[in-house]
């Protein structure tokens, strides 16, 4: 009986992985941000030149130092020289990470049925749209989940003994170095690391593990820093730090964007602006009941998460810690934008997704436990999948690697670039002369 149950779960997870991979392949390919990340990997493969810099920070005309992004997007071509290789590798990383996150949250909140936790984490809009297609924030799900698990494993109140302390410190350090080479949001991890060290009064012996973990990944950035230093003209990272008065009023904006990670955020993934979203809905009127249903439930989720903060759970000191930790994270994100050249955008702090969705499950525990809302939750999940599939089909035809432009597909162009060993067949990097 147990084997049959395990077999069903295995088949189900394989199907979810395939769904996520196909979803990622159907997503945006031609937008400049996506294309640039893909080109960084393709350039590394076709030229064999060491990728000294990673993603561009467009707002300040800078580049993030380090080879990690180039290796993540480029090494898959060496194993399988087809256009889909980076997507396959990314989805293996993200799917494995989300399985770990689902496992860990189900251990932290055993009262919630596991199927709800696993299915929601693997199929919610944010993990479908920002961890399945090639874009630098998509790769953040791996270090963010590892950091999340290690963070809670180093605190006595939340420790489950899934990871031992020395390894947890090593992972904290390596996660920080990982994010440093992919995205500017690495600064958000530092206060959390400082907090862990402060709470673990006997951590002196483990600080070396933190440093070793950091250096294990940071070594990929050393050639860049050795040759170019901390900044070379427009590559200086300090150009991204300014006092931004406009962001001082963005407290509620940050709060709602943070909670949206754990909700069914619909409008963002229908298009970049209102006109595009309206056009999308008009073109898929047969799906309008599902759009309305999922959109309303998404808003309800955020409302319940806010109200849940004020809900008292008797004798649950862990809940008190989790809710105030998340409040502190929201304040931290807000303060980071006060000193950021960029305005608040959800994807810029996607690194905090595991913390947000953990809070989401914990604050909605009373709704998710028991059979009272079981059928409604199942209907919502199925409706969400149908909405996501509609978005996927639309993107596949218009914006994916397989969309035809001037009679040819992006896949054909990439295949030629791979065959000719010339990444410029696809396009040029912003940093190219």
- Spatial separation of the C-alpha atoms in residues 312 and 270, rounded to whole Å: 37
Predicted local distance difference test score (pLDDT) of residue 312: 76
Query: For the residues of 332-391, what is the DSSP string, one character each?
Result: HHHHHHHTBSSPP-GGGGGGGHHHHHHHHHHHTHHHHSSSTTHHHHHHHHHHHHHHHHHH
Top pLDDT among 382 and 63 is at 382
Report residue 353's pLDDT band, with 50, 70 and 90 as the boundaries: very high
**Residue 231 pLDDT exceeds 60:** no
- Spatial separation of the C-alpha atoms in residues 98 and 131, rounded to whole Å: 10
Report residue 280's pLDDT band, with 50, 70 and 90 as the boundaries: confident
Question: Where are the domains positioned within the chain?
Answer: 85-134+243-400
Token duo for residue 27: 């997503």
Contacts of 340 (CB under 8 A, 6+ apart): 184, 240, 241, 242, 244, 247
DSSP three-state, residue 117: helix
Nearest alpha-carbon partner for 347 in 145, 235, 183:
183
Contacts of 399 (CB under 8 A, 6+ apart): 27, 28, 29, 30, 31
Predicted local distance difference test score (pLDDT) of residue 232: 45
Predicted local distance difference test score (pLDDT) of residue 338: 74
pLDDT tens digits along 80-121 = 999 999 999 999 999 999 999 999 999 999 999 999 999 999
Predicted local distance difference test score (pLDDT) of residue 400: 93
DSSP three-state, residue 111: coil
Top pLDDT among 207 and 43 is at 43
Predicted local distance difference test score (pLDDT) of residue 235: 47
- Spatial separation of the C-alpha atoms in residues 374 and 396, rounded to whole Å: 33
**Residue 238 pLDDT exceeds 50:** yes
pLDDT tens digits along 34-67 = 999 999 999 999 999 999 999 987 666 678 999 9
DSSP 57: E
- Spatial separation of the C-alpha atoms in residues 83 and 77, rounded to whole Å: 8
The percentage of the chain sitting over the pLDDT mark of 70, rounded to a whole number, equals: 91
- Spatial separation of the C-alpha atoms in residues 329 and 262, rounded to whole Å: 15
HSE-up of 248 (CA within 13 Å, CB side)?
Answer: 5
DSSP three-state, residue 3: helix
Q: For the purposes of burial, counting CB atoms within 10 Å of the CB of 244, is it exposed (0-12), middle (13-18) or buried (19 or more)?
A: middle
Distance, C-alpha 153 to centroid of its chain: 21
Predicted local distance difference test score (pLDDT) of residue 3: 67
**Residue 71 pLDDT exceeds 50:** yes
The percentage of the chain sitting over the pLDDT mark of 90, rounded to a whole number, equals: 67
Lowest-confidence range among 5-14, 74-83, 139-148, 293-302?
5-14
Predicted local distance difference test score (pLDDT) of residue 236: 46
Distance, C-alpha 422 to centroid of its chain: 30
Torsions phi, psi for 63 (to 5 deg): -130, 145
Residue bearing tokens 């998460």: 305
Specify whether the CB–CB gap between 287 and 270 falls below 8 A: no
**Residue 207 pLDDT exceeds 90:** no
Report residue 24's pLDDT band, with 50, 70 and 90 as the boundaries: very high
Predicted local distance difference test score (pLDDT) of residue 59: 64
- Spatial separation of the C-alpha atoms in residues 230 and 359, rounded to whole Å: 37
DSSP three-state, residue 41: helix
**Residue 133 pLDDT exceeds 70:** yes
- The β-bridge partners of 62 are 57
**Residue 217 pLDDT exceeds 90:** yes
Predicted local distance difference test score (pLDDT) of residue 103: 97
- The β-bridge partners of 340 are 241
What is the mean pLDDT of the segment spanning 260-288?
87
- Spatial separation of the C-alpha atoms in residues 122 and 91, rounded to whole Å: 11
Token duo for residue 395: 């993107």
Report residue 234's pLDDT band, with 50, 70 and 90 as the boundaries: very low
Reported as type and span, the H/E element at residue 269 is none
Contacts of 99 (CB under 8 A, 6+ apart): 13, 118, 122
Predicted local distance difference test score (pLDDT) of residue 50: 95
Tell me what the pLDDT averaged over the chain comes to: 89
pLDDT tens digits along 402-412 = 998 778 899 99
Supply the pTM of this predicted model.
0.92
Report residue 237's pLDDT band, with 50, 70 and 90 as the boundaries: low
Percentage helix, strand, coil for the chain under 3-state DSSP, each rounded to 5: 70, 5, 25
Report residue 273's pLDDT band, with 50, 70 and 90 as the boundaries: confident
pLDDT tens digits along 307-351 = 999 887 767 899 999 999 999 999 999 888 776 666 677 888 899
Token duo for residue 251: 């407290």
Reported as type and span, the H/E element at residue 162 is none
């Amino acid at each position: 009986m147990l084997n049959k149950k395990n077999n069903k779960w295995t088949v189900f997870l394989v199907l979810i992985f395939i769904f996520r991979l196909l979803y990622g392949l159907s997503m945006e390919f031609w937008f400049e941000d996506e294309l640039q990340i893909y080109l960084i990997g393709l350039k590394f493969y076709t030229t064999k030149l060491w990728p000294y810099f990673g993603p561009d920070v467009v707002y300040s005309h800078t580049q993030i130092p380090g080879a990690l992004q180039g290796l993540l997007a480029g090494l898959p071509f060496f194993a399988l020289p087809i256009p889909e290789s980076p997507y396959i590798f990314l989805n293996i990383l993200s799917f494995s990470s989300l399985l770990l996150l689902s496992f860990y949250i189900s251990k932290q909140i055993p009262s919630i049925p596991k199927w709800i936790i696993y299915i929601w984490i693997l199929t919610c809009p944010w993990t479908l749209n920002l961890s399945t297609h090639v874009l630098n924030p998509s790769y953040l799900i791996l270090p963010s989940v590892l950091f999340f698990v290690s963070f809670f494993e180093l605190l006595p109140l939340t420790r489950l003994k899934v990871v031992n302390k020395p390894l947890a410190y090593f992972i904290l350090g390596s996660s920080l170095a990982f994010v440093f080479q992919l995205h500017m949001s690495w600064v958000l991890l530092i206060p959390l690391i400082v907090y862990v060290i402060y709470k673990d009064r006997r951590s002196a012996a483990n600080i070396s593990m933190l440093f070793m973990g950091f250096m294990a990944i940071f070594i990929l950035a050393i050639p860049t820093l050795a040759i170019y230093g901390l900044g070379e003209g427009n590559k200086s990272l300090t150009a991204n730090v300014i006092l931004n008065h406009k962001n001082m009023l963005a407290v509620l904006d940050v709060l709602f964007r943070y909670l949206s990670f754990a909700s069914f955020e619909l409008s963002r993934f229908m298009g970049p602006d209102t006109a595009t979203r309206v056009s999308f809905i008009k073109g898929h009127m047969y799906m309008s009941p599902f759009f309305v249903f999922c959109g309303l439930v998404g808003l309800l989720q955020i409302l319940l998460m806010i109200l849940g903060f004020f809900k008292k759970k008797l004798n649950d000191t862990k809940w008190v810690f989790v809710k105030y930790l998340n409040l502190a994270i929201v304040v931290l994100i807000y303060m980071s934008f006060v000193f950021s050249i960029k305005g608040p955008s959800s994807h810029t702090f996607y690194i905090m997704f595991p913390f947000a969705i953990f809070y989401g499950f914990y604050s909605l525990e009373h709704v998710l436990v028991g059979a009272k809302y079981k059928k409604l939750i199942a209907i919502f999940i199925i409706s969400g999948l149908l909405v996501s599939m509609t978005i996927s089909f639309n993107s596949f035809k218009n914006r994916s690697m397989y969309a035809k432009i001037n009679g040819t597909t992006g896949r054909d162009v990439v295949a030629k670039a791979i065959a000719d060993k010339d990444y410029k067949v696809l396009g040029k990097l912003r940093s190219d002369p």
